[in-house]
A = this chain, B = another copy of it.
């Protein structure tokens, strides 16, 4: 029976197992050859004493090139000197696909490589357990997120990525040729998830790609990213902030529970944050920041400003009550102080992970805000129609999967959190 290396336990001692994997290392001691087989879950030592294994098996193992793919069938023997306390004495050793040499990237990490080189040969880079572990955690994050929302009566939706309208004005969009027309790649499901509130869906979530033609290359921007989006009717910004902090806690719990090994590979000690997260208003944040950085009221915080703020804040926290002019047109202004709105960002340190708000649900106010931001209501045809025939009050947010992984796993570059990142320069692989 086929097993992952990590599935071999004392119960297998004396039994025959089948392993598939890659040749991590071969040590040839003459009459004795040690092969380290690697699969995604761990390593196994294959021991070949010349006198105890078939000659063809011995020869194959001795000569196999590193990173070749093999099938090994053999008996598991207790061996305390082996890294996992066992070894396999193979009766079969089949090379399923021989690797060329030299390798363009060292999988054992004895030779460190630049990120660009790693990404150029990403399939080899991902064979490193430390790198693979990020995507094992990512998969768990996605699964936990879906469980969380399905259990709470949310409907999972897929909204179009090819669109005719810009969500927040025309900037930062990738143009696409849609037959004889111009279209764009959607930068956010915003207009569609709001439309679904008008459709009576009550609560929706989507996990999907978003596309932003941002010119600048930074360690926290991607041109194609994965976003977790929700929209909820009959609630306000406080209601969806509660969902957000509960989700973050749930994700941490699930990752701690199910990814211990992978967190160890990453050398990350993950702690489950406590609810509720700290809340700080924009005005309060501005006051802290202004001791060191000059930011005029109404403007977004610069990176240096956020780094000042981060020195004062522990763990995850919300910045609330943003200036209306600093947020998109659909954010709901406070009734009694229209220059600020019911908007929030979820932060960890200086990193913005999510952004959300109670939305405007009244047609007239929405048109007014669209115009105030210098946009043309005419270009929001289908979206605006949804506000005329029974749009409920609603709120929502978008959370960047890669940003969340950066925060959880303390990654220094957002590209580490994507299998095949897209940035200003990178379109391949």
A residues touching B (Cβ–Cβ < 8 Å)? Answer: 2, 4, 20-23, 38-40, 67-69, 71, 96-97, 99-100, 103-104, 120-127, 132, 135-136, 138-139, 142-143, 146, 150, 155-165, 174-179, 181, 183, 185, 192, 195-196, 198-202, 208-209, 211, 213, 215, 223-224, 226, 233-234, 361-362, 381-383, 385-386, 388-393, 401, 418-420, 422, 424, 427-429
| B419 pairs with A124, CB closer than 8 A | no
B429, A40: Cβ atoms under 8 Å?
Answer: no
Known contacts A68-B390, A143-B150, A156-B142, A385 near B121 by CB under 8 Å: yes
Chain B contacts for A361, CB-based, 8 A = 96-97
CB–CB B234/A20 < 8 A: yes
Specify which chain B residues have a CB less than 8 angstroms from the CB of A138 in the assembled complex.
156
- Chain B residues lying within 8 Å of A179, measured Cβ to Cβ, are 213, 215, 424
Q: A61 CB to closest chain B CB, in angstroms?
A: 16
> Do A97 and B420 touch (CB < 8 A)?
no
Contact in complex: B201, A160 (CB < 8 Å): no
Q: 16 A-B residue contacts at CB 8 Å?
A: A22-B390, A123-B389, A132-B201, A138-B156, A142-B156, A143-B150, A158-B209, A158-B418, A160-B420, A161-B209, A162-B422, A163-B427, A174-B176, A181-B427, A185-B185, A195-B429
Question: Which B residues lie within 8 Å of A178 (CB)?
Answer: 174, 223, 427
A22 to chain B, nearest CB (A): 5
Q: How far is the CA of A190 from the CA of B218 in the complex (A)?
A: 29
CB-based contact A388/B99 at 8 Å: yes
Q: Which residue of B lies closest to A195 (CB)?
A: B123
CA distance A394 to B53 in the complex (A): 29
CA distance A386 to B156 in the complex (A): 34
Q: How many copies does the complex hold?
A: 2
How far in angstroms is the closest Cβ of chain B from A308?
Answer: 33
Complex alpha-carbon distance, A208 and B198, angstroms: 25
Considering the chains assembled together, what is the distance between the CA atoms of A23 and B200 in angstroms?
Answer: 12
B97 touching A362 by the CB < 8 A rule? yes
Q: How far is it, in angstroms, between the C-alpha of A228 and the C-alpha of B341 when the chains are bound?
A: 40
With A67-B390, A158-B419, A420-B192 as contacts: A200 and B132 at CB distance below 8 Å: yes
- Tell me, in angstroms, the Cα distance from A179 to B423 when the chains sit together: 10
Docked-complex contact A234 and B2, CB < 8 angstroms: yes
Interchain CB contact under 8 A, A159 and B224: no
Which B residues lie within 8 Å of A162 (CB)? 174, 185, 211, 223-224, 422, 427
Q: Do B124 and A139 have beta carbons less than 8 Å apart?
A: no
Contact status of A97 and B392, CB under 8 A, knowing A146-B146, A386-B123: yes
A96 to B135, CA, bound (A): 44
A177 CB contacts on chain B under 8 angstroms: 174-176
Query: Judging by beta carbons under 8 Å apart, are A200 and B157 in contact?
Result: no
Cα of A391 to Cα of B424 in the assembled complex, Å: 30
- Inter-chain CA distance A185–B179, complex, in Å, is 13
Tell me if A389 and B104 are in contact (CB < 8 A).
yes
Query: CA separation between A207 and B142, bound complex, in Å?
Result: 11
Closest chain B residue to A391, Cβ basis = B97
Bound Cα distance from A173 to B185, whole angstroms? 14
* A99 contacts across to B, CB distance below 8 A: 388-390
Which 4 interchain pairs have the tightest Cβ spacing? A382-B429, A126-B199, A123-B198, A67-B390
User: Which chain B residues lie closer than 8 Å to A391 at the CB level?
Assistant: 69, 97
- Is B126 within 8 A of A139, CB to CB? no
Q: Tell me if B127 and A200 are in contact (CB < 8 A).
A: yes
Structural contact, B174 and A175, CB atoms closer than 8 A: no
Q: Give the docked Cα–Cα distance between A412 and B178 (Å).
A: 25
Residues of B within 8 Å of A161, CB to CB, are 161, 209, 211, 224
